[in-house]
Structure 1
Amino acid sequence: MSTRPLQAVETLADDLCAWLPTQRWFAAKGQALSSVRVIRAELIAGGDPALVHTLVEAAGGEVYQVLIGVRDHLPEHLAHAVIGKLGDAYAYAATHDPELMSLLLDLLAEGADRGGLSWRAEPGVELVTGLRARPIGVEQSNTSVVFGFHYILKLFRRPVPGPNRDVDLHRALHRAGSAQVAQPVAVVAGEDMVLAFAQRFLGDAAEGWATATASVRDLLAEGDLHAGEVGGDFAGEAARLGAAVARVHADLAAALGTESIDARRIGATVDAMHTRLDTVLGEVPELVEHESVLRAAFDAVRALPGDIMAQQVHGDLHLGQVLRTTAGWVLIDFEGEPASRPDERARTRSPLRDVAGMLRSFDYAALHLLAGEEPDHQRETRAAEWADRNRAAFCDGYASIGGDPRAHAVLLRAFELDKAVYEVSYEHRNRPDWMAIPLAAIRRAS
């Protein structure tokens, strides 16, 4: 590998331009890139294979982090990861290379300064090395690598300057003794941004989405039974999940404080809901018939008496952001809504935002298996029963620790409908067959 990695990687600009849009974590999915500018390339490890840490700026200003491996001869198991050629050598996505990824754990254990980056374990943590690395392939926004059964390192694909919300909230919850998060163990940082974050790997965990949708499949397979009569009933887990979310909210409030949102900020929140609706109405004609109901639900928030309590919350909570371990439910990925600006993610919010996100997720878990099918009244009825049962159980569980979210029906309804409007737009652009799910929720509210 050249001792001048920036100049070398700059020759890959056209290849990166073609490669980036094919990645799951690329923000503008399905859109071609007109140009890519390499803004940083530093050698982390020389030799064969070599490892280069790279930041690239896509047309439009979005910055992406890419770890590039370089080999003279590419093994067959890395052929799918090729980005392009650097002279006679192959440049490829290094996250697929166990040999190079294992090096990252060594750097963290050493507390190294390498490639212009700091590699640091958290205070009091001694990392075990010599563990095999393997990538996790299901993420949408980032890329994570698991080391043995000990640690998981998340590579932030769209890093931004300043504090990292995911790291900061995990640290606050860990200091508070929360059992609902995995222990933070290490951080990789540049001069002004966090680039990667490692935590204890929960090897016994099952993803919430997979667990919930397995329950829905059991129900739909039975056909004649109701949600509470099937062996795979999820309501008990939904209640325990609600309690876990309430505990996280309580711990965040205790650790980081709360504040009151006054009428001015409430009005700005409602205005943002209307602005989102304006945009989606222009994209999705099917939403027009529900406009008056949606606007009335949003405006009802303005009439609420008194201020609204706000605090740090998860910010993007759904069944894909929770894990069921043998010890209970754990929340992951506290970055906030990926489409929001960093300053927006950092703001305090009503905890009901998280509750609304999870309630919408139960709706998705119940109905996504019917998307694209011919209408079947019985299956639709059973799926709706499952959603209603688990939404209620989640709220019951939440109420057992915190206040009952259903006591704030006006605000919760507005947050749910605002989320559904966002979902309509997302599905319209990405999964048209699924657009019926949020539209059905809006229709039920009409």
Structure 2
Amino acid sequence: MSEAVIHTATASPGLLASLDPLLREWLPRQRWFAGKGRPVTEFSLVAATELVPAGGKLSLHHLLVRAHQPDMLGGSAHPGDCYQLLIGEREALPPRLAPALIGHAQKGPFAGHTVYDALHDSRPAELLLEALRTGARIGGLRFERDPHQEIRDGLVPRLMTAEQSNSSVVYGDTFILKLLRRIVPGVNPDLELPLALAREGCPRVPAPTGWLRAELAGQSYTLGVMQPFVQGASDGWELALRELAKGEDFGAEARELGRATAEVHTALARVLPTVTLGHGRLRMLVDGMIERLDLAAQAVPALRPYAPGLRSAFTALADLAEEGRTWTAQRIHGDLHLGQCLRSAAGQWSLIDFEGEPSKPLAERRMPQPTGRDIAGMLRSFDYAAHSADAPVPGWAETCRAAYCSGYADVSGRDPRTDPVLLRAYETDKAVYEVLYEARHRPDWLPVPLSAVRRLASPDLS
């Protein structure tokens, strides 16, 4: 689809020219920028909405900007990713906003002024909350809410500073608003699945309180989701590392986490359609796994000796399908690991961040898949935690894996370990992804997935 630039609420058409040189420096440095290592050749404006007009101490613009870059092989530029930006403009930044600096504009409507990431600023964050509270419509932006949940005004905002692939603002320890940074048209599972689970009454996922969408050129974009903030909650990854550092057993927590995962899977299967995967669909799934393995082996020489054994994990799954075995596929979390789980102060586990893997197309992230994919992701996360400890605790990961599967069976009635071929295939696929990621971004971590690769490639693994 050819994109028309949507200017709403009198946004200046010279705005992007003013921002272009600043964004070229600032955008690639952001944690959530997906095109690292490739130059930005140009920017194009998808949409611009003026939220606070110029003339006062602060002006505020909501932008959807597409960053054009060469493809991975260095060829011609492709359309690139679209990013959501909340751009503030002041004559000068107070010291408290120094980390938000984007730059000083030299031309265009921002000339002579300071431009910054307005999510760091309390006033713009308050405006977003008020817009959600009142169900505002500003240009193509749609601020919507659950009418059965109260949104109080006057909640003090603070930007979460932990590294993540999006940006989150907490309002008075009552709500957390996650603004998606990479934007694609269509229904985002980060809103779709929690809404479906709320309708089903599943308590394991905080029910969305409000959400932000854009309606542009006949297409809908999910821009953000606000949910209740789980006060005093511990991130599953940080909690596991703390227990490891103390040499404490994590088996009881892993079992409860398995129960929570099964409750979410069971609720999703009730509220959304499921499908049966037979030979044809399994063959496509396995072909994708083999293709990812071949590409990773080309890029990472250390993986090549294990490639034949790893491929056998995938072909074994295809062989079962040829013999007539089928599997049920359903909507799943899609990117499940310890960091996507919260444990409340009362010990209740919740699952969060249903966006799936942002690097994959939205249609693929919304496809029904076997629950084994989520389970394999969590099993790999236990392995990562065990290898992250300063002092290794023998058997820690194995205890967690067994406890998690047992907890899952308590609720679902089916232990994932009774389907070892499927589980091995998904664990292998995940480990191959991890090898490629670590080789490119964190070479010091490469031994972690390689240790799993050695295990998964073993022909003795049943």
Q: Fold match, TM over 0.5?
A: yes
- Partner Cα distance (1:116, 1:299) in 2: 48
Aligned: 1:143 with 2:167: yes
Aligned: 1:311 with 2:330: yes
- Partner Cα distance (1:68, 1:92) in 2: 6
Structure 2 counterpart SS, 1:396: helix
Name the structure 1 match of 2:87: 68
Residues 32-431 of structure 1: pairs in structure 2 closer than 5 A: 32-46=39-53, 47-59=56-68, 60=78, 61-84=80-103, 85=105, 86-191=110-215, 192-219=220-247, 232-304=248-320, 305-325=324-344, 326-369=346-389, 379-380=391-392, 382-383=393-394, 385-402=395-412, 403-431=414-442
1:126: Cα distance to partner? 2.7
- Partner Cα distance (1:9, 1:100) in 2: 20
Map Cα deviations across residues 388-409 of structure 1 (whole Å, 9 max, x no partner). 1111110111111111000000
- Sort the Cα spacing of 1:307 and 1:427 in 2 relative to 1 into closer, same or farther, 3 A: same
**Count of residue correspondences:** 423
C-alpha contact (below 8 Å) 1:49/1:100 kept by paired residues? no
Structure 1 counterpart SS, 2:155: coil
C-alpha contact (below 8 Å) 2:188/2:362 kept by paired residues? no
C-alpha contact (below 8 Å) 1:57/1:63 kept by paired residues? yes
- Partner Cα distance (2:18, 2:404) in 1: 53
- Partner Cα distance (1:9, 1:101) in 2: 23
Query: Which letter does structure 2 place at the counterpart of 1:426?
Result: Y
C-alpha contact (below 8 Å) 2:61/2:86 kept by paired residues? yes
After TM superposition, the score normalised by the length of structure 1 is: 0.92
1:3: Cα distance to partner? 4.7
Aligned: 1:443 with 2:450: no
- Partner Cα distance (1:6, 1:52) in 2: 12
C-alpha contact (below 8 Å) 1:159/1:195 kept by paired residues? yes
Map Cα deviations across residues 244-303 of structure 1 (whole Å, 9 max, x no partner). 000000000011132101211100010001100111111111111101111111100012
Q: Name the one with the larger helix percent.
A: 1
C-alpha contact (below 8 Å) 1:10/1:37 kept by paired residues? no
C-alpha contact (below 8 Å) 1:6/1:42 kept by paired residues? no
Name the structure 2 match of 1:434: 445
1:115: Cα distance to partner? 4.1
C-alpha contact (below 8 Å) 1:133/1:145 kept by paired residues? yes
- Partner Cα distance (2:360, 2:11) in 1: 36
Aligned: 1:26 with 2:42: no
Bigger mean CA deviation after superposition, 137-146 or 167-176: 137-146
C-alpha contact (below 8 Å) 1:51/1:100 kept by paired residues? yes
1:112: Cα distance to partner? 0.9
- Partner Cα distance (1:413, 1:245) in 2: 19
Name the structure 2 match of 1:228: none
- Partner Cα distance (1:5, 1:153) in 2: 28
1:30: Cα distance to partner? 4.2
CA-based RMSD: 1.4
C-alpha contact (below 8 Å) 2:100/2:116 kept by paired residues? yes
* Identical positions, percent: 45
C-alpha contact (below 8 Å) 1:16/1:83 kept by paired residues? yes
C-alpha contact (below 8 Å) 2:313/2:424 kept by paired residues? yes
After TM superposition, the score normalised by the length of structure 2 is: 0.89
Query: Which letter does structure 2 place at the counterpart of 1:319?
Result: L
Bigger mean CA deviation after superposition, 407-416 or 124-133: 124-133
- Partner Cα distance (1:27, 1:102) in 2: 28
Name the structure 1 match of 2:75: none
1:42: Cα distance to partner? 1.3
C-alpha contact (below 8 Å) 2:377/2:427 kept by paired residues? yes
- Partner Cα distance (1:270, 1:154) in 2: 34
Query: Which letter does structure 2 place at the counterpart of 1:69?
Result: G
- Partner Cα distance (2:43, 2:183) in 1: 16
- Partner Cα distance (1:130, 1:188) in 2: 19
- Partner Cα distance (2:43, 2:51) in 1: 22
C-alpha contact (below 8 Å) 2:18/2:111 kept by paired residues? no
